[in-house]
Amino acid sequence: MPALLPAVAYSVNVEHADADEQATIAELVKVFTGMAQVVAEHEGRAHRAVHAKGHALLRGRFRVLDGLSPELSHGLFAAPGEYDALVRLSSPPAEQLPDTVSTPRAMAVKILHVPGARVEGGDEQHSQDFLMVNGPAFNTPGISGFLRSAKLLAATTERMPRTKQLLSATLRGTEAALEAVGGQSGTLKALGGEPQHHPLGETFFTQVPFRYGAYIAKFSWVPVSPALKALTGEPLESAPDTQREAVAAFFAQPGAVAEWELRVQLCRDLEKMPIEDASVVWPEELSPYLPVGRLLVEAQASWSADAESSEDQLAFAPWHALAAHRPLGNLNRARRVVMAASREFRSTFNRCPIHEPT
């Protein structure tokens, strides 16, 4: 195998904002808080503007691997260490849709009590969060295209639940046919065509880049314990809360062990691994994902009676970060503002302040 190129050095010059970026972000705020408002009025409770339906809230331990190479020893990963962590599994829509509408799977992890200088513009003091979904690239290159699809999605919020279930079944068939010939469509999956697979067997990706100390990286959670690996591609029955029930059944087993590896993919070529175009999958032959940590979650109640109020009090966000892991690119810059607006809306509507867990 040819030697890898050296990792690209991080500098502020790797980011480039379009002239209309602030206007697009302001429109995204309107669209997302608008969706959250429609759902809140319909259901009497405000949820996250997207990723509203939680499937599990878990406690675990995160360990930075010993003996990392100098290239990988940066930020949170500069020294070996172990931290408490919280995990929330969710699905992207704004509504509490039945899981028969099968949309992508997401995993948000909050690593607690992380020492070090904080990123500017974040509002938590000690957590390092990683938010990922189960695909390697974002649906659109950047926020302009994302605004167009978000507007279409907003128009269907809390409408046509029966149509969405029927459409989802059709799209799952179409997606399966596409995968059979080696393809995949992020759009079909987002609209309900996601294969109905167990979320604990999935591999998750940040899709967008972050500062990695002196360098730049994307991150991924990969299932590594045998019981998780056995769930990769495992079909779930089609039921309204099938994901919540499947995860609960896994963690209810005495001695259940779930372990994910945190891997980083360093940027080694700014053209082939762009910062501002999140629709490009960074080629693994130019930069393989390398392990830097492990997350261990053991047997527990994954969705307790008070899970809904617990998730209302929590916020996972990429800007809950060390300065060494500053979120990069236009989608991340937009998330800082749009996600804060979503948090503000749901905590005000529900009269439930959001706390950084201690």
Q: Which residues bind ligand HEM (CB under 6 A)?
A: 28, 32, 48-51, 88, 90, 106, 108, 131-133, 138, 143, 146, 206-208, 315-316, 331, 334-335, 338-339, 342-343, 346
Name every residue whose Cβ is closer than 8 Å to that of residue 93 and which is 6 or more positions away in sequence: 50, 52, 53, 101, 103, 153, 157
How far is 13 from 148, CA to CA, in rounded Å?
28
Q: Extract the runs of DSSP E, i.e. beta strands, from 13-141.
A: 53-64, 81-91, 106-111, 128-133
Rounded CA separation 161/145 (Å): 25
Residue closer to ligand HEM (CB basis): 54 or 75: 54
CA atoms within 13 A on the CB side of 180: 6
Nearest approach in angstroms of CB 154 to ligand HEM is: 12
Q: Tokens in use for 259?
A: 């372990």
The nearest distance, CB 170 to ligand HEM, in angstroms, is 26
Query: Which residue's CB is nearer to ligand HEM, number 47 or number 74?
Result: 47
Query: Could you tell me the smallest distance in angstroms from the CB atom of residue 132 to ligand HEM?
Result: 5
In terms of CB distance, is 41 or 79 closer to ligand HEM? Answer: 41
Least distance (Å) from ligand HEM to the CB of residue 164? 20
| 106 vs 321, beta carbon nearer ligand HEM | 106
Q: CA-CA distance, 36 to 24, in Å (whole number)?
A: 18
For the bound state, the minimum distance from the C-beta of residue 88 to ligand HEM, rounded and expressed in Å, comes to 4
- Which CB sits closer to ligand HEM, 68 or 302? 302
DSSP 8-state class, residue 199: G
| Cα(298)–Cα(322) distance, integer angstroms | 27
